[in-house]
Structure formats: C-alpha cells, structure tokens
Structure 1
C-alpha cells in the first residue's frame, strides 16, 4: 500500500494543476487560533487565523471554550481554546517532506463551559508516530502567563499528521493556539539523522536582552543561569558583523540570520577573571539526551588572539580557536550530551593556556531535548462533521468529488484499523490522608499474615538510603535491605504523587493484586513475596532478594557481564516454566499481562524468576477470554489484545516471544534511535526470520557460541509466539517444550565437540554413542514438576526430556 499512496497524491496534484478553478493555498504553514473564528495578530508579527473547515486541517470531537474574565491586557489568542475531557486531535495536510517547527500555546484561563479552571488540566500531547511530546503537563504557573512549547518534528507527505491531546483520568486537555511550518533548513544539525523529535528547553541570547526572531523563536536573557555573576561581564562589540563566510571550519559552521538573529551575535559575555571560568546552569531531565548548539562570534578581541575551551558537565567538548582568525564572523557548534544521573546540567568556557590573549566568550546557547518516549495512540471518537481532512478550500463539480474521494482513500486506508488506548504499568499511590487509614480499609489483607511494619522496613533500608537503590521505575524505587531476622530482601516503595497524580485508585488496585496473587503461589521460577506495608499512606512490597538483577540488565547494560548462550537458554526455559505454571498449574489460570525482560529476575545462580504481578488477571482461562482495558508495556503488547481488548493467555505468549528476540539479539524491544523499520524488535526480527537473515542480527557477544540447530529451533519458537492471530500461537507448555529442545540440541553439540577433541576418539567411540536427538510429542500439558510448594523447590530436572538423556535415549 506504501507504493499506492504516492501515485494517488500525484494524481490529485495533477488534477489540481489542470483545473482552472481557484483553490485555497496548500502551503504547509498553519497558525491556528483554536476555539475561535477570529483572526489574531501578535506584536511579534505572527498572524493566527480563526478555525476554518477549509484550511487544510481538521479536528476531532471537542469543545470551543472562552475566557470568562476577558482581561484587556491579554492577547485575544489566549482568550479562547479547544478543550475536551476525552482524547482529541488536530490533523494536518502535509505536502512537503521535511522537519517542521511545531509550537503549542497554552493559557490557563477560567472557562464558562467547564466546571474546572484550565489551570487544573493535566494531560499529554502525542504525535502521529507515538512520540510523547508532553507528559502529565499542566499550564498552571505563578505568573498566569501563557506557556509555549516548541518542537521540531520530522514529517513525511505520506503521513496523515496528527497532534493528539490526551487528558489524564478525571481531567481534560486544551490548547489555545497551534503553529506548524517548515523549519529553516540550517537549524537541524546536519549529523542528526534520527527521526526523533526535538523539544526546545532553553534558548539564550547570552549577554543581551530578550529577542524575538522572524519565525517567532524567543531568545531569553542568560542572567538567571550564570552560576557566578562576578565571573563574566557583557562584552563591548569591537566591530560590525562579517557575514561573507560560508561552510564549516574545524567542526564549526558559519552562521546566518536564519540560524539565529544577528542581534545574538552582536552581544556576548566574556571573562572577568581569566583564572576561572564562566559556567551556566540548567535544570534538565536526567532521563533524556540533549543537543546543545553554542553560538560564537569574536566581537571582543583581535583576530587570532583568543583560544578557549568549551565544556559540558565538566567534560571537554571543543577547542574554540579557529574562529578567532575570522573577526566578527558568526559560527555555531552542535554536540550531543548523553544521559546523566543529575538533573543539573552545566555549560562552561575557560581560556586556553596557549592563547596569546587569555579570554573566552559565548554569544548564544540553545538546548534541545531528544524526545525518545513512546506511548500508544489513543482511540479518539471522531466527530462526524470534522473527520475528513479538508485539503482544498472550495471545489466545483465533478473535480471536487474526485479530489475528496482521492484524499479520503489515501488517509482513510492508512487508519482503517482502530487503535486502542493502552494503560502502562505504572504505580500511582493513594494521596496521603494522615496515618494511612484509607489504605488499611481498602486493603484488608491482614489475614494473610504478611504485613511488615514501616519501622522495620525503614531499618532494613537504612531509612531508604539512596545508596541502596538497586532499581527505578515509573512506580518508584527498589532498595536492597536486610530484615531483622537477617533475610536479604528487595523493597519496592511507590512514589508519593502530588495532588495531580493520576490513577491513584488503579495504583492501589495493582498493589492489592500483587499481594493476593503472590500470596497464593509458590514456584521456583516465580519471585516470592516476603511481605507488604501500607502504613502512613505508603505502598511497599518486600520480595526475596535477587542477586543478579534483571534479565534486561544482562542483555544490554554495558557494566554487567554478558550471558553465554547456554545461560540464556536456561533463563528462557526457567521463565517459561514459571509462566506455564501461572497459566495451567495450581495457580488456576493467572495471566501475567506485563511479561518483559525487566520483569524476569536472576538469583545468584542465574536462575530465572518472573516478577511484578500488579497487572495480573486470574480465572481468565476458565473462559474464552476476559474483556479488559489494555494494559502492559509498549513493544511487548499483543496486537490482537490491543485491537480487541480481549485478554487470553496467548497475550503472555506474544510478550514472551518479544523477550526471546531480546535474548537472541541483545537489544531493547523498542529502540527509537534506529531506522524506522528496525525500531520495533518484534517486527524487525520477524522480517529477518522470513528472509532467512536471523543469524545476522544475533547479539555479537554470542558469535560462534550457538549451534545452528539450536538457533533454528529457538528462532522458530519466537516466530510462533509472535503470530498476529492468537489462535496460531502455541501454549506456554509448547513453548517450554521447544526451548527445552533447543537447550538439549545445544548441550548435545557441546558434548559432541568435547568428545571429538579427545585424543582417544577411536577407543571411546564404542563406549560413548551419541543419541539421535528427535522431537517427541509435547507433554507440556502434563508436566507440572515445577508446580511445587516449599519442600520441592530444588527440583530442576524437567521430565519431558527424561528420554533424551545421553546414554538412555531411545
């Protein structure tokens, strides 16, 4: 279908060019005054048009709301908005590939159409490619001024580009104005080839006053970011700008007015004390990478005299020296700063000791966050009067019908399958209510005898010492601890959310579910629950301590030793046993619903244990399915479950298939830094499998370790698990059988190799006869050797393969 859309669009353009009728502009520039039909002009020069059905965009069901205060000193742009208590979107017609600048305007006024002030709205914003542009966003601020969020997004003409506004439960979303237009070609770094969006965090006119440029970018003063005001002074320009230089010199790029306003290059800060440095401090997300663009223009010294060094977080980045040979020529330099444990970010400059003039300067600075977070596209209720994207303004006669049908077909076919809302696995504890009485009354689990006092947990974790943190997630931190009886434990403590924390009731439900599920089951390959605490509005779970951490850590954490293929097979087999027991053993039909590599833990002997049962559902296997809101983790979710919301044990099988590919390839289920076709591991792995290229994407650390037969069996097992139709997937009993078979093939090969390396091959051949390993019918449905209680936890031999033992095989 990808080859069909381009000819259809070409046909549309051809018909439009032939026509003598007048059409409105198809230019990809959108400046929308949301929720209003009035046009608005800003003092910065931007002109916003009132909403129109014939302007190249549309929006789904939502409401237009107005400010009831109507304060005279606020622009009319911020007196109206489009809002809704369900997800809604704006859809845009795009006619040119490229990187687009998107600005979203938010002003939290009081609305007569809503029982809530817009300042209470908590919502997210997603784009068509599932990237989370804003998460748990609120426009409330102490100055009551508009909040403007700016992004750079790669958009293709084959995309039906949408911006989704997704409210948190019991809240709503809104937007006052939207800008969308092609970005200047020089803005995106030339070595930034990823399709990941960029979010502008800071843009500073260093040493100067605030500036608004011709495309609406706001350059703020840097005064509040300098760590030591005495270290720097505002530079006095020595000459006018020289704009005749083009191209790149020593990694620095000659700039122009489309990259930054010339006013930025006409001001700077330079050294006051040349024995120190100038440092700028910023608050950023420690969970994100950032692109930094530093602007330089030597307006402070004599040509060739000043050489200095640029640092980021104390690390040397670049010697800035070549530009000193070009008096008053603007340059900029781009670089990426990787993830950091700290949310405090700094940029500094200091003189180079070898320079004839000891000085350093900076003219401008931009910091953009690389958006890597993915979220599922919400299921949006269409508004009948707005669902068709109006690409043209007015069309007459038969030509209008052809155009509308063509566009409708192009965009309609692309979205012919409705996408379902997915709730991710995140704990959201109940708000504090003094003494935690609400928790106690809601749980009523004292009869289980698993309650541990908060004081003992405090003591076990040294008052939740950050040095004892062994894991973090959306739910909170996991601490290593030791109980009073000497038992080593892992303590999972949920974050306490503020008043806007979402889904607190669901967090309590997941907390209770995990306690009930784990109190009922006991198995060698399932993590054991030691106890829980619900005092003082806390939600804390205490588990047996798993020395080796998560399977995920051992697959792509550079600080953890890589697992051998034998170890990986043993781990997969163990995890399969645990899931098989959940599905069919004494647990009586529990569906995990969040199977992933970070929920498979390893003890000191690398024995796998499945963990995290907060999303589990029980009793489902006594029925055909259970209807439920979709929950899980993006990248592991069963596509049929997402579409139908019908949960079966085969959803766990699909997720486990993704884990098998992670184990084989040593990469995450979703990697947004890769090309689009490789981003989703399940899709990429199955494509390679069908092409016979699976061995080419195997983890490089496994080179020459895997027996071809074992690899073939393992790959076929993953492929069967990842079938789109759940009825075509195997049961966990069959998966377990296949993995045991792959493991036995691997072990048999190793034994054979060891035997053939012996110097007594001839003498031993009669006494040591290798069996012909053959596949016996699956006995998974009757294999409950691991469906054990405490007395049987040391049982490790699976009876399925009793006939395949060396020397005893039939």
Structure 2
C-alpha cells in the first residue's frame, strides 16, 4: 500500500540559530472525555463502503447523512492499483461553481477535516483540475491542483472550529476546469485539542523526531508522522533514542490523543557523550512554510532520557529566539518519568518563509542533555464569513456577529491609517525574522491604551522630525496593544516590546511609563541624536510616537539581543574569540563615528554591554542614546559640564570627580566592555572578594601583573593567539587610565582592535612577549572603516 503523506511544503534543514527572547509558553493540560469517532468517513463517487485503517468509508451515493449538488458525476479508475486503498479508485467530480457536499455534524467543537486526492487514470484527466475549496465561507484551498506526477495520495488536513448543525463543503472550479475529491473525513477531536486562539488551522508538517515513520494504524486519530532526518541541520549533534523501559504516564485524557504513543516513545537526544568530544550547543530543525502567514507550532516532549527525576533541563529555541526552559520536574511539577507534555506558540515568518526550532544544552555541567520527541506546524487560516451562518444559530452568535461588524469598522479605520502611513513614512530594509506570540493569543492589552493623565512635556513633540512620526494606532497594531508576552526588556525609560509593522518589518518598541511625564529629556535626546546620524554600527530609529500623552520610540529589531546576553548569566551559546573581536571592532566604529563624524561630535555617556546590540549576522550596533550629549566638541570645547549620569561600574572616574564629560569618558566605559568581553563577567559583582568585585580594577591589576591569561573566560582557553591577547590587554589598559588625557581616542582604539584581530588570524603564533609591531605590514587598511567627517 502506498505511503500516505500530508501534503505540505518541504525543505531541507537550515543553518543553526540560537539566541534568547524570554517568552513563557502555555502548557496545555486540559482534560477531556473522548471516544473514538465513527463518522463521517466518506468514499466519494461510489455506492460502496470500504474499510480503511479500521474506519468504514461509506459510499456517498448510498449514504443518508451526505447530500451533494446534482451537477456532478462520478468516475472510476481505469487502472486500479493494489498499491493504494480502494477509496482512491473512485472520485466525485464537480463542474458547477456552486457545487457542494453537506452533512450533519456530530457535535459542536473542533473537527478534523481531511480531503483525499489521487489523480488516477480515467476518462477525466484529474490532474488538470484546478479549483477552490471552502467551508461555510472559510477558504481551505485556493487554485488547488494535484500534479499528474504524484504517485501517492495527497491528503489536505485541517482542524476547524465548527459550531453549526450543518457542515457544508463548497467546490469552485477555476474557469472552465472542474473539481474532484476521492474521500472525505470529518469528525470531532477532544475539547482543547486546538487552542481557541487559533481555531482554524491547516496541517503543514507532522514530525516524529528520533523515531520511525508512524502510520495511520498507530495513531488514535489516524495521523501519519514523518521522519525528521530531512529537516535536521546537523545530524551528528543528536542521536535517536528509544524508550524500552518506562510506561507512558499521561496526566490527562486529552494528552492521550495529542500525539501517537510512538512519538513519545522515541526522541532525538543531545549529549556531550554522543559527539566524541565535539560540543554542539544545540540542534536545529528547519522548515519551509508559507511566507507572512501565521503558524501554530506544537512541540512534544516526554522524558525517558534522564536517569532520575530532575536531572535533565534544557532550552527550547524558536528561530533565533530563546523560547522556554524545558524543566519537566521543576517548572511543570511532574513527579514521575515518561510524562508526555507539549508547548504551543505562534510564529509569523517573514519573506523567507522559514521556521526553525532548536533544543539547546544549558551551561551547567549537570544538565548536559536535551531532547525532542515530536513537532507539528499548522498554518492558521482565515476567519469564518458571517454571511454563511445559518439562521438557526442566530441566538448563539449575536455577540459574534456584533463583534464582526465592529471589527469591520475597526479594520476600515486601520486600513485608512495604514494607507496614509505607507504613503508618508519611509521604510527600512525588510528582514526575514519571525514574530513569536505565545498563547493565549486572545490577549489583554495594556491598561494604558486610553490615558487620562496629562504629560506636560508632550507639547514639545511638534518640534521633532515629523517625517519619523508614527501614529499611535500603528504602534498598537505592531505590539498587539502592548501585549505582555511581547515584552522583551525593561529599563529606566520604560518597557521594550517586540512588534511587527503592517508591512512585516520587525521592530523594537520602547514605551515610557504611560502618563508619568518622566524621561522626556531622554525621549527628546534620542530622537534628536538618531535623526542626525546614520551608520552601520548604530541602531537605526524607525520612528517615534508622541500622541495621547505617550512617548514611544521605534527601532530596528536586533535579532540576537545584546552583547551581554552572550557573555554571562544567560543560556546563550558562547561567542568564539574572533567573533568577540569583530563585535568590539564594530562597536568601536560606531563610537568613532559618533565622536568625530556626527553633527559636531556626540558623547554617548552610557556605553555598556547591554547597549551594544547584535543583528542576525552578529553585526554590533551601539544603542540607547537617551543620555547622549551633542557637540560641538572642538579644540576650544573639549568637555561638557553636566550632572553625573551613566551606569555604575562603567563611569569614568574623572568625570565622576569633576563632572566634566569628554569623549574619552566613552573610551573608559568601552574599556570596561572590553574586559567584560574577555572575562565574561559583569562590571560589578558584589558576590566576589573585594579585590575582584570591580572588573575594571581587577582587570587592570591582572594585566599589569602579567596575569591576563588567568582572567580569560574559561570557554576561550586555547582559542586566543598570545599576541592578540597581549595587544587586547594593552588596549583595555589604555582605555581604563584614571585621567582622560592618558586614554586613546576611539580612532586609536579601533586601529589597535583591528591589529589584534590581524594577530589572531595570523598563522605564526609568536611568543607572548615578542614586541615586534608589524601593524603596517600585516593590517589591511581597507578593513578600517574611517568615520566620515560631516
């Protein structure tokens, strides 16, 4: 018998990605009393009943529960094959635009709807059929065609929320073509099977990770589960494992139906013991999906891996964004092994149409395993058309109809606003990122969407660059009304949310504490500074909003978070030394441009590792200009007298004593960042002994005592060319001089960092104390990005 596939878009594995975005996920643990369904299973175009994997597919021509339009014909295969089921030997053909099937539903709730297609040889060339399929106004398939080269049946599967007594399936041939179907399944699934936030979905992928293919006979809902081998990025990073000892311990009735037992009895497992000394930090699976469409992703877990309770914890990553700590015994509270559980989340891929899921090891040595049992991806399809609602349902759907009408008015307003916005505002380059929205997706927005407090400063807003102004309605759209699950950071100014503009551009939205009136100076400074500058290594301001007493800044989204995220106190994979050097060089270029090339000179005043952000390619960009001071800073004006602002641990000691701010105050702060990069520890750590608590003091002492190797991040041991390390230490020491006159300019820092990178890349590793300076010979001056003088 031919292998039956769910029809979807398939692609090989993709590049490994991992980074943290701290979003919790909702674990579904609903219970449901559910019995195996016996209808509706329809053998189309036939009067015969056929048993197919324990189900009786009743011939539609003889069924009392099925009706269909009279403008149809049936056809029989002229070459019946034993390689496929007999349900594919006949088909119902529709040629009228109003063709339809109608049947009584077995109850209200989520139904599986499966449409079976197989273009067998007959008097009608079924492979030429092009048609649409819809249910009560909800489009399921558009311009659908099954190619003649298909050797196996194609099954399109949907989960639909049906709350009507009648299920009506419409077939609409395209032009002069026709439509056909071989078999049809419509039956209830347990309550809670699909979240209310994604009521109608189409199955795209269903993967048994680490095990064999699961056939329809081995799944309680007659689903097939494909192998994961063609989707995994680095096969050697994990191995297949099978549970041969523990019985599955389901915690709720629903869990028994969410996946096959076979899925929970096998897994892909990461472990340092499996990789022959090669430490893979994570394993990634990549999938090709429809671009710019929302998808429901469901990942399945069952811990039969750990030798005892609470000994395996790991991270689940989505795209390049950390999604959840998988901790069956701590976070989920399980008290026994082999408990099946799952997580659901939403993703909206960009123009690349890629979905990537990863599991990653924790840094702690006792948790050096990670596993995944199963994975499903379902495309979310549109909403129901109220015009198709039967009148008998009126009493139950009044509120829904009112909501739809109200929604239409709202959508009209949004459309008008969007049209104005698109015409007026410039758009930065698109990116291929994803928005991850965690359930419940019927989300509660901020309580401050209608503000009554008055912010006395907002009257100044009209003096800003109006070309960058974004309407508040667009901000609400991008952030789902400041949905809590899109919150990615907090600071002194306010909260930062991840958002998506209407054209798919991913943004970071920084919102001041609503109505507080605080932070206006920073708000004004940020807009003023960023509207004057443009540089590859400075975060771009997309726009701002000063409306309804709100102060909101919208930036380009930096996919890989902050530099600090990759250094310590997180579960991110570590950065190799060469990449750390390149990040430092990028940040130095941005600062050099600020100091020398931007509107007379700008002092950042808050350089720290959290304000150096990384894009999807690990390109460093300096961010957060709320404390910046603008020039002119020339020979006659070498400093600015100002109150002390900045971050403790990074503050220039001379600025702290004299309140005289100079460009070399930034250089001092950057020196602290250089030590953070080298040592992978915070600027201030009160838990350490007194002589080590302050990173700048401890680092300088170690460098001056010739003990720089002793403070290097243990993960970098053996990676650093001794001469590169020596040069790097010299740079940090110069930057951290007590008096600013002893510190280099950012131009000199950039030059020396470029040289340190050249030393790292050289094949000849000279002795640690070889002072030969071959910068002018080795360094390629074209790599030094000179800041333009404006």
Q: What interval of TM-score do these two structures reach, taking the shorter chain for normalisation? A: 0.3 to 0.5
Q: TM-score, with normalisation over the residues of structure 2?
A: 0.43
Q: TM-score, with normalisation over the residues of structure 1?
A: 0.42
